[in-house]
Structure 1
Amino acid sequence: MLCQKVLSVIFCLCMSLRFSSALYFHIAETERKCFIEEIPDETLVVGNYKCELHDPKTGGFMPSSPGVGMHVEIRDPDDKIILSKVYSSEGKFTFTSNTPGEHVICLYSNTTKWFSGSQLRVHLDIQVGEHAVDYGNVAQKEKLTELQLRVRQLLDQVEQLTKEQNYARYREERFRQTSESTNQRVLYYSIAQTAILLLMGFWQMRHLRSFFQAKKLV
């Protein structure tokens, strides 16, 4: 019984690490930072960020001024822009994927006049799937009991796992198609190479035969 509980906790931790990621990075004037997230289709993604301005006097970072803005641009696997918006120095962006695959999330300052040569530290937290849902807010809006909310969470987790499995099959199919296409190209190249060698050999034989006939050796 204890082993089952331990395994359940480990599984939940692994799923949490898979569907959420938090980090911070430094960004300079006109610099652009992009991140790639592999997301299944029809999946909610929420990103929370906070900007801090470098303080040359202390060498640390302090809360940025309200005028500092962050431009968020998101492209889908077909390189189509699905979100392009300017936010404040601290905020949240949300989008739902329509196509499975690698989504590119780019952040950069909307202007450079507030930098004065300083750097920004941007804290970014990206949550995918049911981890992006605020279940506390859902419980208040829909007036759910604790048991009903837990069932809702489990249903969302099952749905997200189904999407992940479908995405895994989609990637496997794409990989198989790429492998078959590569194998066909290698086969065609080998056939073409063999045909060229046979033609070169035939041409050399005719050339030698003409040479020997001209010298009256045959």
Structure 2
Amino acid sequence: MKTQDITFHAFVSLIVLIFVNQSFGLYFHISETERKCFIEEVPDETLVVGNYKCQLFDPNTGGFMPSSPGIGMHVEIRDPEDKVILSKVYSHEGRFSFTSHTPGEHVICLYSNSSRWFSGGQLRVHLDIQVGEHAIDYQNIAQKEKLSELQLRVRQLLDQVEQITKEQNYQRYREERFRQTSESTNSRVLWWSLGQTVILLSMGFWQMKHLKGFFEAKKLV
């Protein structure tokens, strides 16, 4: 296989991984006062949208049924610097969104705002998080801006290119952070080794001096 073909396939694989990692859907169970948190790595200036829906456990049927409107969900989001960028109570089904201003790991936590409905039961939460251009509602944009199908497709491609650029910048940022961490670790290991050497030499010098004084006191030398 030619080198150009290998490079092309590697590039395509990278693009596929980038777009696959931009969204995920799951569901989880929470009990009273329990908090569930997820970590999402996000480049800077990137839109993140989360859609969720709650279902209440029914002990009679052993399944989950749609929850009552009185059940609320508290959403809290912290940036890589552990600053709260979103803390809000939503209804039993809703949508939250935020735009990252710092690249890195964002922590998304969800928990119920009330415990009256639990009675020892569980709540199932369906969560779908979308990042970047996947979080944009292009159909709504097309209707508002009256874009043709071709114009909308061009808009999508431009957003995809912009997102790829952000991902590449974020990867460079991660590489830089990793390099700084490696250099700091190597520097600390070096200084620790030097410190150990100094301590060993000092102890050896003290032992030699102590033994010399001992032999002189015993008139052995």
Cα separation, 2, equivalents of 1:171 and 1:16? 18
Aligned twin of 2:104: 101
* Identity within the alignment, %: 78
Q: Distance in 1 between matches of 2:15 and 2:164?
A: 12
Calculate the TM-score normalised by the size of structure 2: 0.92
52, 68, 73: which one pairs with 1:70? 73
Query: 3-state DSSP class of the match of 2:51?
Result: strand
Match of 1:57 in 2: 60
Instruction: Give the drift of 1:116.
Output: 2.2
**Aligned counterparts of 1:91 and 1:12: Cα–Cα separation in 2:** 30
1:3 alignment counterpart: none
Give the corresponding residue for 2:4: none
Gap runs ≥5 in structure 1:
1-6
Shift of 1:17: 2.1
CA deviations over 1:83-105 (Å, ceiling 9, x no partner): 00000000000100010000000
Structure 1 residue 41 corresponds to structure 2 residue 44: yes
CA distance in 1: counterparts of 2:34 and 2:86, whole angstroms: 19
Please report how far the alpha carbon of residue 16 of structure 1 lies from its aligned counterpart in structure 2 after TM superposition.
3.8
* In the alignment, structure 1 residue 21 sits paired with structure 2 residue 61: no
The residue aligned with 2:121 is: 118
Q: Does 1:182 align with 2:185?
A: yes
Give secondary structure in 2 for the equivalent of 1:74: strand
What do you get for the CA RMSD once the two structures are aligned? 1.7
Provide the residue aligned with 1:215 in structure 2.
Answer: 218
| Residue equivalent to 2:90 | 87
Q: Given residue 170 of structure 1, which amino acid in structure 2 is its aligned partner?
A: Y
Q: 2:170 aligns with which of 167, 171, 181?
A: 167
TM-score (norm 1): 0.93
Among residues 196, 203, 206, which one is paired with 1:203 in the alignment? 206
Of 193, 197, 200, 2:196 maps to 193
**1:29 alignment partner AA:** E
Unaligned runs of 5+ in 2: 1-8
Residue 149 of structure 1, aligned match among 135, 143, 152: 152
Match of 2:136 among 129, 133, 136: 133
